[in-house]
Structure 1
Amino acid sequence: MKNVALATGLLARLALWIAGIGLVLMTVIIAAQVVFRYLLNSSLIWSEPASVMIMGWFIFLGAAVGIREGYHLSFDILLYVLPEKAKLFLHTVSDLVVAGFGAGMVWFGWELAEKTSGNMVPSLGISGAFDFIPIVGGGVLVVLFSIERVARRAAGLPTARFGDDADIEA
């Protein structure tokens, strides 16, 4: 379990770095577009589709890391009054539902990518499938990280928090 936790921890860090770089890159592209449009009276025709594509990556990668770290949306009011075993059971059910959602992201994202693979994004000159690949990639990570949380809970280990590798040594 230790090796799996280290591997998924590194994968989560990598995903977070890629998401952060994507956010900065998108910001730079949009800033360049503003400069070109309003100061140089020209336009970068590729800036909007490229920014949207990059945004898809950082949204879905960041969301997957949020799943691993336990920062996804939840309604925890009931958990405050339940015994610990019931809380663990409900957290496991939640993680399994999230894994199912991630599997849906993979399945339907792949279908969308397939259906748009013949279309070209004119300003970028690439396949329209690239707009949907982030859904598939994020879905794979959501499934992986959700299953990791279930496995850690089943092994009696705490679920990971970003930057906290102390629990991996357990």
Structure 2
Amino acid sequence: MVDFVLAFSRILAVFSRLVLWMAGAGLVAMTVFIGMQVWGRFVLNDTPTWTETSSILLMGWVIFLGAAVGIREGNHLSFDVLLYVLPRPVVKICHSISDLVVIAFGTGMIGYGLQLAATTWATTIPNLGITGATSFFSLIFGGVLMVLFSLERLLRRVVGLHTPRFGDDVIEE
């Protein structure tokens, strides 16, 4: 089982790095689009109409991809004061409960994102000419990643491997 979890972790590590690069590229593209909008508005007096809408769509991708990677790498802030006085086995249980809550939240993102996408599939985003469901694809994909990365954390904990957490200087046993 440990070998499976380690292989799964290696695959997700590569995927996580790719997702982080995609989020970074989206952030750069968003910055370029907003720069084009400002340049068009104040210099050319002819604003490209697609830049604002594209930037808003990209912002969703940047946020949800970055949040998912933050879950995998344990970089989200948490309130851990109580965990410092609890025994290590109880701390592991609390961390696992936290991961289960994230899985439930990610599952909700997937479910409600699919409902929203289905509801807006027939609409069109005016400046881009694409389906309105596109607005919710980042929500769905981000939810999938959150579930995957939280499952990885649970599996690592079950087989006794370390799962990093923000500010955690103690290796889990």
TM-score by length of 2: 0.91
- Which structure 1 segments of 5+ residues have no match? 162-170
Q: 1:39 aligns with which of 43, 47, 66?
A: 43
Question: In structure 2, what is the Cα distance between the partners aligned to 1:39 and 1:49?
Answer: 20
Could you say which residue in structure 1 is the equivalent of 2:135? 131
Could you say which residue in structure 1 is the equivalent of 2:168? none
How big is the alpha-carbon RMSD for the aligned residues of Structure 1 and Structure 2? 1.3
- 1:74 offset after TM fit, Å? 1.8
Count residues in correspondence.
162
- Does 1:92 pair with 2:96? yes
- Which structure 2 segments of 5+ residues have no match? 166-173
Question: In structure 2, what is the Cα distance between the partners aligned to 1:7 and 1:16?
Answer: 14
- 1:5 offset after TM fit, Å? 0.6
- Does 1:72 pair with 2:89? no
For residues 98-145 of structure 1, the C-alpha deviation after alignment (integer angstroms, 9 at most, x for no partner) is 010000000001111110011000110000000000000000000000
Question: In structure 1, what is the Cα distance between the partners aligned to 2:108 and 2:120?
Answer: 18
- Does 1:11 pair with 2:15? yes
- 1:160 offset after TM fit, Å? 5.1
Question: In structure 2, what is the Cα distance between the partners aligned to 1:120 and 1:79?
Answer: 49
Question: In structure 2, what is the Cα distance between the partners aligned to 1:117 and 1:49?
Answer: 17
Could you say which residue in structure 2 is the equivalent of 1:168? none
Question: In structure 2, what is the Cα distance between the partners aligned to 1:34 and 1:95?
Answer: 42
Q: Which amino acid aligns with 1:159?
A: T
Q: 1:81 aligns with which of 79, 85, 90?
A: 85
Q: Is the partner of 1:82 in helix, strand or coil? A: coil
Residue identity over aligned pairs, in percent, reads: 52
Could you say which residue in structure 2 is the equivalent of 1:25? 29
Question: In structure 2, what is the Cα distance between the partners aligned to 1:134 and 1:73?
Answer: 22
Could you say which residue in structure 2 is the equivalent of 1:120? 124
Shift in CA distance, 79/160, structure 1 to aligned 2, threshold 3 Å: closer
Question: In structure 1, what is the Cα distance between the partners aligned to 2:57 and 2:134?
Answer: 7
Could you say which residue in structure 2 is the equivalent of 1:167? none
For residues 58-105 of structure 1, the C-alpha deviation after alignment (integer angstroms, 9 at most, x for no partner) is 100000000111122321111111111111110000000101000000
TM-score by length of 1: 0.92
Q: Which amino acid aligns with 2:34?
A: I
Could you say which residue in structure 2 is the equivalent of 1:156? 160
Question: In structure 2, what is the Cα distance between the partners aligned to 1:80 and 1:159?
Answer: 16
Question: In structure 2, what is the Cα distance between the partners aligned to 1:72 and 1:95?
Answer: 12
- 1:3 offset after TM fit, Å? 1.2
